[in-house]
Structure 1
């Protein structure tokens, strides 16, 4: 039985889709953690800012994130097998802005990074990150949902997350 039928109250036709601007307005009031996803690549790595990173399963340890199918980093996700999810903290708004900006080399100065043995880029100064193995890619409208297994977790001391809320980067109070 499909989810639509399972939860249908009556047989009335579905309502028209919510307008994109209204949909965005709803989520402007919902804060989200900010992450940067980086991927190996040649001649340079790829990466993007994501507010969609969520824990998915404890056993096995899985996370998910979404990426637009039109994004410049999508081919690296589609064709790759690994990634690093960096959880940004207070004071790292510049990193979030750099990796959300289109048309620039996100790994040029001032970005500093090192490569793990598998070629995955780890951003300098971001102390909490996850090494991921990409397991599934699921079409979801104009995006793709990536499901990834956590292979390694590095945990930093700063637990003041960078948040995105109402079109602005914010941090939690002390």
Structure 2
């Protein structure tokens, strides 16, 4: 049997070396707009379009976001690193005069500079010991992927650092199937 502290360290090390896509979540709450960067976004289903993500139970922003009924999921590119970094730091003003954002007709905040985004309705909140797992069904959105320049890089998080994954870093291989 592996000691629990050894298991926790092995877990942290494994995920530190596992590249993760980056998303920015925004929502309107009773106290105003909130935003946070996550690396836990996953696709659950294409039809209907459902995503999931986890939120730390130690985050004040996550606690506020969990009160919302809807959320906007932004897919930042490497050139959006400053915004992703801003939304990852606790206590930062994420909707000040320096941020280019708008309120959607449905009331949620959306960062204009990010071309790919979806608005979703939260379906499930599953409280766990240290986090809450959330699912949301996507209601609308825009995918700018087809119009993104070839020089644009995908933003990933690996070994506690932001990285850009460019076209030259991608290899054609077998498709993942579920």
**TM-score, length of structure 1 as denominator length:** 0.85
1:117 aligns with 2:105: yes
The structural deviation recorded for 1:151 is: 0.3
Q: 1:22 to 1:165 in 2, by over 3 A?
A: same
The aligned residue for residue 14 of structure 2 is 26
What RMSD, in angstroms, separates the aligned Cα atoms of the two structures?
Answer: 1.7
Which of the two has higher C-alpha Rg?
Answer: 1
Map 1:129-140 onto structure 2 (within 5 A): 129-140=117-128
Name the structure where helix makes up a greater proportion of residues.
2
The 4+ residue runs of structure 1 with deviation greater than 3 A are: 18-22
Tell me the distance in 2 between the aligned counterparts of 1:162 and 1:106: 19
Tell me the distance in 2 between the aligned counterparts of 1:110 and 1:33: 25
Q: 1:20 to 1:107 in 2, by over 3 A?
A: farther
1:172 aligns with 2:174: no
Partner of residue 147 from structure 1, selected from 135, 150, 161: 135
The structural deviation recorded for 1:104 is: 1.7
Tell me the distance in 1 between the aligned counterparts of 2:9 and 2:33: 33
Aligned length: 161
| Deviation sequence 1:6-25 (CA, Å, 0-9, x none) | xxxxxxxx644345443221
Tell me the distance in 1 between the aligned counterparts of 2:7 and 2:96: 37
The structural deviation recorded for 1:87 is: 0.5
Which runs of 5 or more residues in structure 1 are unaligned? Answer: 1-13
Tell me the distance in 1 between the aligned counterparts of 2:31 and 2:128: 29
The aligned residue for residue 5 of structure 1 is none
